[in-house]
Amino acid sequence: MSQGTAVVCDTTAYLPSELAAERGIEVISLYVSIEDHQEAESEISDFVSFYEQLRASEEGATTSQPSVGDFIAVYEPLLDAGREIASVHLSAGISGTFEAANQARERLIAEGKGGERIHTFDSRSACGGTGLCVLAAAGAAASGEDGQAAIARAQQAREELKMWFAIDTLEYLRRGGRIGGARAWIGSALKIKPILTLEEEITPVERVRTRARSLERLRDYARQRHESGLDGWVVQHIQDPETAETLVDDCREIFGCEPVFVSEVGPVIGAHAGPGLLGVGSVSTAVLR
């Protein structure tokens, strides 16, 4: 007897924990290592001291995907309860997380444990972008849709999605090797504040000179989204709640509604983006219902 569709994501969606709990979303953790100490991202409650360590570290931090076993530990009880699973993850272009989810699915099929009821989706995004895809899947699941329909809803959200990130420096991306198309900007004599998006991998959008200008550009993007009717919006930051709050106030005025969520990006993506990130993005409100 099916108990409905369960939605699973990973920690890099950075959904507020109370929102994930309210929507019944299961979250699988990625890992971060700094100064030879590895920890599950879900166990790190003090982002301040992590980012202090990151700033002070010569080597920076490294990150790793969940193991196949981590996925099985979450999938198996859901399958045992007769449920279908919609599993939505961080872009396969920058992480092996999606691949690990598929390997866990294959293993559960091979063992006759119902793995064919798992439907996986590569969000081709990260952070708030992935979060919006996850919430779209959860909306479909809550209205009684099966796993395939929940994934179709996540796909619809992904097609509508635009997410922009202003970062303070390219240094952390360069160090972590996740720089993608922004590589061309390394070594620029100008002191730049890059604005990036994630289209499977890190993609440069534009370069501005100051923090104030990058904030202004994020507001411009928000206005474009509102004009297109895409008002299901999110704001994210790393270690800059004050500027994020300013952006939230501006976006509240632009969109004329409350955010879907606001959250801080944690250590796994933060290790690669560095402190000072600000992000804004949206989908339609209809796709989240």
Query: What gap in Å lies between CA 210 and CA 227, rounded to an integer?
Result: 26
What is the per-residue pLDDT for 287?
Answer: 98
CATH 3.40.50.10170 residue window(s) in the chain: 5-32+64-158
256: left (phi over 0), alpha (psi -120 to 50) or beta: left
What is the per-residue pLDDT for 110?
Answer: 98
What is the per-residue pLDDT for 191?
Answer: 72
**pLDDT at residue 12 tops 70:** yes
Average pLDDT over residues 25-52: 96
Q: What is the DSSP string of 185-238?
A: GTT-SS--EEEEEEESEEEEEEEESSHHHHHHHHHHHHHHHHHTT--EEEEEES
- The DSSP H or E segment spanning 151 is helix 147-160
Tell me the C-alpha to C-alpha distance, in Å, between residue 49 and each of 17, 54, 242: 20, 9, 18
Q: How sure is the predictor about 169, in pLDDT bands with cuts at 50, 70 and 90?
A: confident
Q: Which of 15-29, 45-59, 195-209, 240-254 has the lowest mean pLDDT?
A: 195-209
Query: Higher-confidence residue: 207 or 83?
Result: 83
What is the per-residue pLDDT for 189?
Answer: 46
What is the per-residue pLDDT for 1?
Answer: 36
Tell me the C-alpha to C-alpha distance, in Å, between residue 151 and each of 23, 118, 183, 193, 269: 16, 10, 33, 35, 24
**Structure-block tokens of residue 209:** 């000179």
* DSSP category for residue 66: P
Q: How sure is the predictor about 29, in pLDDT bands with cuts at 50, 70 and 90?
A: very high
Query: Higher-confidence residue: 248 or 171?
Result: 248
**pLDDT at residue 47 tops 70:** yes
How many Å separate Cα 264 from the centre of its chain? Answer: 11
% residues pLDDT > 90 (the chain) = 83
Tell me the C-alpha to C-alpha distance, in Å, between residue 226 and each of 83, 158, 178, 244, 288: 37, 17, 30, 19, 16
What is the per-residue pLDDT for 59?
Answer: 86
What is the per-residue pLDDT for 181?
Answer: 57
Query: For 90-121, what is each residue's pLDDT tens digit?
Result: 999 999 999 999 999 999 999 999 999 999 99
Topology, domain 162-288: Hypothetical Protein Tm841; Chain: A;domain 3 (3.30.1180)
Are residues 197 and 256 in contact, defined by beta-carbon separation less than 8 angstroms? no
CATH 3.30.1180.10 residue window(s) in the chain: 162-288
What is the per-residue pLDDT for 180?
Answer: 62
**Closest to 272 measured CA to CA, from 15, 41, 20:** 41
Q: How sure is the predictor about 179, in pLDDT bands with cuts at 50, 70 and 90?
A: low
* Crossing angle of the two packed helices 241-255 and 211-227, in degrees rounded to 10: 30
What is the per-residue pLDDT for 232?
Answer: 98
Query: For 119-141, what is each residue's pLDDT tens digit?
Result: 999 999 999 999 999 999 999 99
Q: What is the CATH number of domain 5-32+64-158?
A: 3.40.50.10170
Query: Higher-confidence residue: 173 or 147?
Result: 147
Q: Which of 1-15, 165-179, 209-223, 236-250 has the lowest mean pLDDT?
A: 165-179
Average pLDDT over residues 64-79: 98
Mean residue pLDDT of the chain comes to 93
**pLDDT at residue 173 tops 80:** no
**pLDDT at residue 188 tops 70:** no
What is the per-residue pLDDT for 200?
Answer: 81
Tell me the C-alpha to C-alpha distance, in Å, between residue 155 and each of 7, 95, 137, 239: 14, 19, 9, 31
Query: What gap in Å lies between CA 112 and CA 280, rounded to an integer?
Result: 43
Query: What gap in Å lies between CA 51 and CA 44, rounded to an integer?
Result: 11
